[in-house]
Chain A
Amino acid sequence: MLGSALAALALGLTTACGTSGPGADSDKAGVEVWMVEDASVNEVVQSAIDTYSKNAGIDGELVTYVNDAYKQRIQVALGSPESPDVFFNWGGGNLAQYVKANQVVDLTEAMEANPEFRDAFLPSVLDVAKIDGSYYGVPMQGVLPVVLFYNKKVFKEVGVEPPTTYSELLDLVDTFKKEGITPIVLPGAQAWTELMWLEYLTDRIGGAEVFQAIAEGKEGAWKDPAIIKALEMCQDLVERGAFGDNFSSLTSDNGSASTVLASGKGAMYLMGTWEISNQQEHNPDFLADGNLGFIAFPALEDGKGDPAAIVGNPSNYFSVNSDSDNVDEAIDFLVETMASDAYVEDLIEIGHVPAVAGIEDKLAETEHSEFTTFTYQLVAEAPSFTQSWDQAIPPAAAETMLTNLQLVFLGDMTPEEFAEAMEATQ
């Protein structure tokens, strides 16, 4: 899921191939940083490394790898002699796995020594890198919550308003269906887009605790009634025709889904905030005409969850490898750089919304200020920011989850069977 998110963030093709360049020179002392390939963010990090290296008089180096293979690469590298000093990760369960293997430096002490550094970050985002009460990672790029996009033009033509509650959403589904418009665009060829629906519905029904329990591996957590209910609601949406007839072959990878929304063939689209860069690249007119609408996921009338809660990708994180010969330099690099004005401004420049407090004014000056401000406030006011489940749980369980979720959406598996199968992975 992150793969596409990050790829989409690389705004233009033209800049997409310049910056990578693995070729770690292990002889030199210094800070080696590994992250996934993402042209625009790579540039920001590179410039931060250059600045820091010059000031501190050390050798800093950035090594990048393609997103899909990065996890595999880092798995092999950590614990081997060819490992980085600072490495990119997804926080949550992904990071916890390395923490369990004693491969990550506990940053709590450094945070306590520099409280202004710790407090610079939005708490809901920083907490994703908190494992067993200790901090192991620092947010290194923008927040990517999942929001409900809609086509303003289509809404106007049909004469309806965007939904604030779930029952309004259901009414809209019926309305659009009658109009011959696909109510909700769902690129179901990729299971992680279906997962977004499960994540939000679960959160609205039972609150953030439901998934928290799953992430902590509690027994019976997958059989929580909220999960079953949420899956039933997903199946109900499919049966209602909310996603149209072709959702299972629609993909987001080749950008079809974005264009279905922009062309007015679809009315709503639940997607991460990176969707704006997809639209920018593929349907610039749609974006320029101000037809891309966005709202928070609707409230569920009888749900326990806080309607302000969000799900998505809180951020990505930089962590320090405990095998590093340069632990102190690496920590110092993070503390000096990650919340610095220069770094934050560079991130904003490339369209990110950094997880740093008090940046409203800076965001107001950006190109899509309405959208970035909306995103920022959504995250700043969120009582919880649940990480995408496929990142938060171990890879083996995530693979099973995504496979089974597709079966649920196709109607080939019942919610109970899903819960049963997932419980077995705990």
Chain B
Amino acid sequence: MTSATTRVQRPGALWAAPALIFFGIFGLAPIVIVAGLSFTTWDGLGNPEWAGLHNWRTLPSDKLVGSGLMITLTLTVLTWATQTPLALAFGAWAAGPQRIRAVVSTIFFLPLLLSTAAIALIWQALLDPTFGLPAQWSELTGLSANVLGDPDLALWAIVFVLLWQFLPFHMLLYQAAAKQIPASLYEAAEIDGASPLQRFWRITVPQLRHTIIASSVLMIVGSMTYFETVLLLTGGGPGTATRILPLHMYLKGFSAFEMGYASAIAVLLVAVGTGLSLLVVRVSGYSQMTSEREGV
């Protein structure tokens, strides 16, 4: 066998070179550049100028960095806590063999066809205080019509829109996984007289634990990209109530043209993003899970 393998043709590093170079320029070099830019002042006009630690000294005194971080984490937790149970329940429900379930879940998936921008704009129109739904329900019930303009409600509105947007996707994961649960498990439980709820807790949930972990990892890592929805829906407002850290960086960079300072925020963002991913992967045992699978 050894003599055979030596004669086997193997592609060299050259085959991977285009991908590596390309990714190096647009994926990896920017991380280095952004770190460099964080030590400069640059207004987009002319060249960046060395500014030493100035941006980094400003960072701790910027209240919006601290609050932005808090809002980002709050949003991550809330989206996870709303999406996971609903996706799990609906996914398991949709996995059932009934025809009606298949039809309904097809409708559930429809939001998947819309882009983030489209979804945010639909909901912005629907939540308009004068011409949207809030005007109607406040007439009927006396509840506030000021959904996107109320600092407490606006974040929940974003959580809801994100739920509307991403639930179908996670539901799909659970549905696919739930279909693979052996029917014999359910049959046995049914003979034991377990109720549907008991079957859900005793069979479905434990059987789906890997999917729960995978879906959670995706949600938490993906939460760094909620930027677009927030920008389009509330612009970070009212005031700064929904100004998540990525949005703060964007506004500092492309609205205030303080690109050096914005780069410092971006470095923080990379650190938080990577830290969060590592933490989640470690805590959830996601990596062991995947390596187990790779071994198969």
B151 touches A410 (CB 8 A): yes
CB distance from B149 to the nearest CB of A (A): 3
A249 touches B148 (CB 8 A): yes
Q: Which of A101, A400, A410, A412 contacts B45 (CB 8 A)?
A: A101
Contacts A396-B258, A399-B255 given: A407-B239 contact, CB under 8 Å? yes
Interface with B: A71-79, A119-127, A297-305, A377-385, which one?
A71-79
B255 touches A395 (CB 8 A): yes
Number of A-B contacts (CB under 8 A): 97
**Which chain B residues border A250 with CB–CB below 8 Å?**
129-130, 149
Q: Which of B131, B151, B235, B257 contacts A256 (CB 8 A)?
A: B131
Q: Which of B209-263 contact A (CB under 8 A)?
A: 234-235, 237-240, 251-252, 254-258
A410 touches B130 (CB 8 A): no
Q: Which of B46, B149, B150, B234 has the most CB of A within 10 A?
A: B149
**Which chain B residues border A79 with CB–CB below 8 Å?**
45-46
Chain A's closest residue to B146 (CB) is: A246
Binary CB contact string for chain A from 256 to 295 against chain B (1 if under 8 A, 0 otherwise)? 1001100001000000000000000000000000000000
Q: How far is it, in angstroms, between the C-alpha of A265 and the C-alpha of B129 when the chains are bound?
A: 12
**Which chain A residues border B151 with CB–CB below 8 Å?**
410, 412
- B44 contacts the other chain (CB 8 A): yes
**Which chain A residues border B125 with CB–CB below 8 Å?**
254
Q: Which of A158-202 contact B (CB under 8 A)?
A: 188-189, 191
Q: How far is it, in angstroms, between the C-alpha of A389 and the C-alpha of B78 when the chains are bound?
A: 38
Chain B's closest residue to A103 (CB) is: B45
Contacts A101-B45, A395-B255 given: A256-B238 contact, CB under 8 Å? no
Q: Which of A360-415 contact B (CB under 8 A)?
A: 395-396, 398-400, 403, 406-407, 409-410, 412-413
A246 touches B149 (CB 8 A): yes
Q: Which of A189, A398, A400 contacts B235 (CB 8 A)?
A: A189
A72 touches B44 (CB 8 A): yes
Contacts A260-B130, A412-B151 given: A396-B256 contact, CB under 8 Å? yes
- A245 contacts the other chain (CB 8 A): yes
Q: How far is it, in angstroms, between the C-alpha of A398 and the C-alpha of B258 when the chains are bound?
A: 12
**Which chain B residues border A410 with CB–CB below 8 Å?**
151, 238-239
Main secondary structure of the interface of B (DSSP, over half): loop
B46 touches A188 (CB 8 A): no
Chain A's closest residue to B154 (CB) is: A249
- B178 contacts the other chain (CB 8 A): no
Contacts A188-B149, A259-B131 given: A403-B257 contact, CB under 8 Å? no
B149 touches A248 (CB 8 A): yes
**Which chain B residues border A254 with CB–CB below 8 Å?**
124-125, 128
A256 touches B130 (CB 8 A): yes
- A247 contacts the other chain (CB 8 A): yes
B131 touches A403 (CB 8 A): no
Q: How far is it, in angstroms, between the C-alpha of A347 and the C-alpha of B244 when the chains are bound?
A: 43
**Which chain A residues border B258 with CB–CB below 8 Å?**
396
A248 touches B150 (CB 8 A): yes
Binary CB contact string for chain B from 30 to 60 against chain A (1 if under 8 A, 0 otherwise)? 0000000000000111100000000000000
**Which chain B residues border A247 with CB–CB below 8 Å?**
149
Q: How far is it, in angstroms, between the C-alpha of A11 and the C-alpha of B134 when the chains are bound?
A: 30
- B180 contacts the other chain (CB 8 A): no
Chain B's closest residue to A266 (CB) is: B130
Chain B's closest residue to A182 (CB) is: B130
**Which chain A residues border B238 with CB–CB below 8 Å?**
188-189, 248-249, 406, 410
B130 touches A259 (CB 8 A): yes
17 CB < 8 A contacts A-B? A76-B44, A79-B46, A101-B46, A189-B237, A245-B145, A245-B146, A246-B144, A246-B146, A248-B146, A248-B149, A249-B127, A249-B150, A250-B129, A251-B128, A256-B131, A406-B240, A409-B239
Interface pairs A-B: 4 shortest CB-CB: A249-B149, A248-B149, A399-B256, A246-B129
Residue numbers of A with Cβ under 8 A of B are: 72, 75-76, 78-79, 97, 101, 188-189, 191, 245-251, 254, 256, 259-260, 265, 395-396, 398-400, 403, 406-407, 409-410, 412-413
